[in-house]
Each structure stands twice: as C-alpha cells, then as structure tokens.
Structure 1
Amino acid sequence: MTEDRHTAVVLFTRDLRVHDHPALAAAVEQAGRVVPLFVLDDAILTGRNAAPNRAAFLAGALADLREQLRRRGGDLVLRRGDVVAETMAVVTATGATSLLCSADVSGYAQRREHRLAAACAQRRVRFRAYPGVTVVPPGELVPAGGDHYRVFTPFWRAWDKAAWRDQLPAPRAVPAAGLDRIGRLPSVDELVADGATSPDLPAGGETAGRSLLDAAAERAGAGGPDLDDLAGDHTSRLSPYLHFGCVSPLEVANRLADRAPEQVRQLAWRDFHHQVTAAVPAIAHRDYRDRDIVWRDDPDALDAWRRGQTGVPIVDAGMRQLLREGWMHNRARLVTASFLTKTLRIDWRAGAAHFFGWLVDGDVANNAGNWQWVAGTGNDTRPNRVLNPLRQARRFDPGGAYVRRHIPELAGLDGPAVHTPWTLPDDRRKELDYPDPLIDL
C-alpha cells in the first residue's frame, strides 16, 4: 500500500534489474507513480572512458530492463547527456517529489551522487541512495581506528559475520507516471561510437544473468568443479552481470552460500575492493601503497602483451581470450597481470587501462584493486609475490587445452611442448609462426 500519490523517480545506473532492487522496491512501496530512468552518460560512453564491449552489453541490458518493467505496467525512460541535468529535467517534468538511486563507490559515482543530492536540495526534492551494488554496503564494516579495512582476511572475518539485509522480490507492479516522452532504446551501433567489439560477447540483461545464476547454483555443491581449471571453464561467468547489476550480488550470495562457499568468498573479495575504493577513490590511478617501484618503459613489450604475442603461451592465451570474448578466466587474469608487472616490470596502470578498455565486467573497484594487488602496490600482504607462468600453466592447464583453444598456431602440439614451444627444434618452431618469448624463462 502506498503512503500517498506522489511521484518518485528511480535513477538506474549499475543496477539494471528488477529483482532485489532496494531503490525500486522503496519507490513502489512509497509512491503512487514511479518513473524508472536511465541516462546514457556521454562522460562514460565517449572519449577515453569509452569501452565498446561494455556499451554493447549495456544495449542488451537496457532492452531487457525495459521489458521487465513493461511486464509490470511500468516503462524505462531513456535520456542522453549529463546525468544530473537530465535527471532533474525528468524530475521537473513529472512533478516528482523524490529521487532514489543505488549508491556506488567510484570517484565519479560519488561525485554524481553529491551533485544529485545538491540539485534535489535546491528543489526541495527528497533524495536517497540505497544499497544494492554490493552484498554488504561499503561503509557498514569499519575496523577500529580506521575508515576501511586494508587487508582482506580481517575484512572477510567481519563480512562473514555481518547481518545481510533482506533480499527483496521483484515488484509485482510498477505504477506508471504517464510521461509523454519515454525515449527509444539505443542500438549497439549508436552506443559503440569508436572501436570494434569482441566477436564473442555475452548477451546483456537480467534474463541472461538469472539463467547463468540458476546454472551456477545447479552445478554448485559437494564435488563441484574446480574453478581454477582453465580448460574446464567452470566459473559462473556472472561477473559482467554483477558489474551492470543485472543480478543482485546479495541474491547470488544467498543462492550459493550453502553450496559453493568458495564462490561466496569471491563476492567478499568484490565487496572488499569496493570498500577500499569508496574510501580511496584515487586507487584507480594512484598507488594505494607507495613501494618506490621503478617501472620499465617498453612500448614494444607492452604492445606484444596486449596482442597476445609475448611468446609465453599461457599469457598469450589469456590475452587473446580477452580480445575475443571481452572476458578472461580469473586465473588467467592473475597470470597475465603478474607477467606484465612482475616479469616485464611494466606499470600496472598500463595493464589496468587495457583490461578496462576490453572487459565487459570492467569496473573501477575490481579492476584497480586486483591490478594493484598483483603489482604489489595494493592490498596484498606479500607485495613481492610472483606467479611463475610456467608453473601456473602446468598446474592449471596441465593438458594444454586452454592454450590450444585460444592460440591456433599451437593447436597441433601435445603434452608439455604446448607450454614451451621455444624448446622445439628450430625447423618445427618456424613452422608454428609463433614468437619466441620476450624474456628467458
């Protein structure tokens, strides 16, 4: 039952779903009319922040969100431009007296929230940012004597004991506000202004995300697959859907808590990086801990790494998977990042920028947090840790199937040679048309 007949605008950002959406649920509960709104933000879609793969995924996610809302009697209003200006224009046009959204953690998101709050205060519009991007809100777990946890293990202990909020069902109905101009869905071509997309991208949207979650829950349990098995590819592949909020991280945690605790721990890592970023937004471009590392300037090596042409098969396989799918297996992410920063000694920011440009799941908190962890400038308690690519290959791709899948030049090799093609006779190496390693291994 609604409290009154006022109109509420719900601004969607990285929360493109109707299930377990606290801001949407509150609007439906409190208001007589609800305006779900998404603003295509040129500050994110164009220029140096443009990411064609994420833009393509976004197009599918918005189409699915509109369908979900229309099934419930509502609709998704679409605008393009400055988020605050366009949002407040919709607030004015609808006579809305409240604006709701989901809180986020990046520096840009925090500035956007502050601007929205200030604009609402000027117009005497109620504003509130709700949880929903993480399992546990970033500011809810605070250590004694600090503003955030700097090491994962104590954070994990606190996170594991924390009381989670109640998971919310999708609203049965979304009371429409009757806005004259709804706005049309953007095509992929309209959103991808510059650059090509990867050929094997996942389908965007809540429907696809919930299907993957069902599959992950069904596979989980005793005797479940080894998630580090590169060739097996047993991970849930939910990360793009978590990044765009097409699935609720809380619902994922609830579904897997008793069946796949190792995957729930990965959600805790995600929350950990989000609370670090909320406290230190500059982590996206500045060392979290100054280690006085002198990075090498080697454009040729960096370019070879980006293209998957380093001559180290396990590294190149990961990099080529990224270019083809806009996604990379988590173990491969660690191996490729360690190779760039610890073996080639190239600045983590160059690697993070490349990942951020291609990953469908690329978000500021996870990308910067994980890269700094590997580079030794972040939250790892062992900053000098090095992942030897050959040992990683033999452990996590012992049969070489992952390498052969992504490097067709090596598809005909069997056994150990697939990971060490430089040990083959010279005439055989020339036939492969595959480079020798950039460095001695």
Structure 2
Amino acid sequence: MGVTSTSKRSAIGAAFAVAWFVSLFVVTIVVATVTLSASQLQGRLLALSRADLPLSVWQIERLRKDLNAQQGGVTAQSAKVESIRIERDKAVAHSQETQAKYSAAVGRYSIAKDDMLSKLRNFVPLSFPDDISNISDQDLRAKIDGAIESLETALRAPTKKAVDDLHYIYLSSLREKNEASQAVQEAALAMVNEEDSLDSESALLVEAETKIAKVIDPDGTMKRGDVVRIYDLISEFAFIERFTLGTLYRFAILPSEFLSIVLVVAMGTLGSTVQLTYEYYRDGTIPKSSHFLLRPMLGAITAIVVFVLLKAGVLVVTDSAKLGEAAPLNPFFIAFVGIVSGLLSENALETVRGVGQTWLRGGTVEQRQRWASGVKAHLSETKTIAELSAKTGIDVPTLEKWIEQQAPVPPDVQKLFAVWLDKDVRTLFTDMPPQPAA
C-alpha cells in the first residue's frame, strides 16, 4: 500500500515537473524571441538617418501615424474624385441623350411646320412665302395662329378639321422642341459644372499625394534607397502591430535599455530552466518544490546583476570600447550573458562576490607601480596626451613613455588617468609587464 502511494506521489511530482518545465520554456522562449526581434528591429534603425540624425523607433512610429493620416486623406479624396468622375460621366451621357432627343424633336417640328405651311398656302399664299428662314419660331407661330383665326368662317367643316389637326400637331411639336432645347441647355450646364468640380478635386488629390512624399523626406535630400527602406520599416510596423495580438509591436516601441533588461531577465530564467531540466534528467529525482520556484528567480536576478556589472565596466569580457554608451550592446550578446548567468548562477555569484571583495578591499591594490595596458585604447580626439599634460603638468614624453608601456606608472598618476578617462583603475592598469618583442 505504501509503495503504491509513493509511486502515485512520484508520478504526480513528475507530471508537475514536466508541466512546470514546459511552462517556463514556453514563456521564456516567447518573451526572448519577441524581445530579440524587437531589439533587431531597433538595431536596423541605427543604420538609417534623416537629416544626418539617426532614426529612432518612435520617429518611425510617428512617421507611420502621419503617413496613415495622410493616406486616409488621400483615400477619401480619391474616392471623392472617383464619385465626381462617375457623376461627370453620367452628365455627359445625359447631355448626349438630350441632344439626340432634341435632334429628333427638331425633325418632327420641321415636318409638322412644313405640313402646316403647305396647307395654309392653299388659302393665304401671300402670308407664307417659300423662304421663311428669316422668321423666328415665335413670329411664325403668331402668323400661323392669325391665319387660322382669319379662316375660321371661310373654311368648310372637313377642311377646317384638317387644318385644326395640323395646327395641333404643329403646336405639340413646337412645344416638344422647346422643351428638348431647354433640357439640352440644362444638361450642358450640369456637365460643365461636373467638369469644373472634377478638375478642382483632382488638383486637391495631387496636392495630397505630394504631401505624402514629404512625410518621409520633407527636404527632398534623402537617398532613394533610404526612403524605400523607411517605407519597408513602416510596412513592417503595420504588420507587427497585427501580429500576435500586438505583443511584438508593444515590445518594439519600448526603450532599448528597458528592452535589454527584459531580455536579460528572460534569458536568465531560461538558463535556470535549462539547468533544472538537466539536473532532473541526470539524477532522475524530483527536487523540492521551492527549488522549482527559486532557481528560475535566482537565474533572473543573477542575470540582472551580471548585466549591471558589465554595463558599469567592472566585468570586462570583450573589447571595453564596445561597451560604452556610444554603442548599444548586441542583443545576442545580452542573451548570452543572461543564459550563462542563469545556467551557472552559483559561478556567476562567486565571480560577483570576488569582484566586490576586490573593489572594497581599500586602496592597497593601487599603491604600487603598474603598467598602462588599457590607457592607449581609450585615447580619442577629445582625450589626447597634450590635454592630459596641460591638466597635470606632466611633460608629454613622460606620458608617452607610460602609455606605450615603456615604464610603469606611479600609483598617484594611475588615479589621475582613471579620473581623466572616467574608467576603473583595474581596466586601465595591470601588474603584468609587457612581453618583449620576439
């Protein structure tokens, strides 16, 4: 019975361990992947510039919002222009249709007028000569109405009915022609108005499209390739804003220093998780539950401590000139520091403890002559030997002799070098003399 109970507890513990490992791995890997991607995106921005100033992630985001706002205006204006163009096309078609109707009405009026005049010439030939081109439609109607009225009693009933029928057809065709003429004028006016509106709105559309180009390069001084790359980055921002519910986008717009710390913490936790998994499969035993919780926390904290010491210059694992404020740390190097610190938390803490003990030991470490192994690497255009000589009163040949490691540097001068270069003495000097040239 006791064996069965122990086996159940072991199975439950193993299941809990696997679930905990999986959760840690998934969370830390997701955070690390998103953070690394965001760091690389910010790093690519450093290679681009506008007006000789490096572009930041916030500048790109502001450009994206400005571009979206401008693009929204262009889209709305383009839709408006297209709507007016459709209305213009309808006005043109309507004008052509009314013109055709007017032509047909003119033809019917001409036939009705000729029939009416031909009939009246039989009774009053002198009133309607053959050439009536100089008589307006209004005057001609008045003459026809007068002639019919004068023949009211002179015509027999059948003839009078024929004349009245022709007169009715004539008046109907005249009215139709006048109405068609009015419709033609109105359609032509509407078409002209639509043309003017289309020209005006098209000019506004061109102006809006010109403004879009000036969002990225307002002065027109950027290279075409840089403009294209900025457009690509803006498109990438639009994609990552929708990707993974906007998680990558939120990380991408974080300050780079905060992003580095998040990456360090995630990698420290990941390193501890790797160590826990290795111990579990190596020993085949389930550690205490507190170990499951505290070991990842220890890895995260250790990674932060080691990262702070690296940024402070107390720990130097690579060229110290690359760890200054002028150049950001490589995100993969940061990830490496976090993983190693989490994986070897005990070793990392011993290293930190040893550095602290050395630093707090007092001034005895510096009270001897040492060789300037790291001074030359930190000289620059603003930190010259001549400047140091002017500030300290030490002649230039002596300073050059020390910097070239031809002679050891006295303890008090070591402090001057450290203060002047704003570096730790251990970074600049060593007890080991230089090796003679072969």
Structure with bigger strand share is 1
Q: TM-score, normalised by structure 1?
A: 0.19
Structure with bigger helix share is 2
Q: TM-score, normalised by structure 2?
A: 0.19
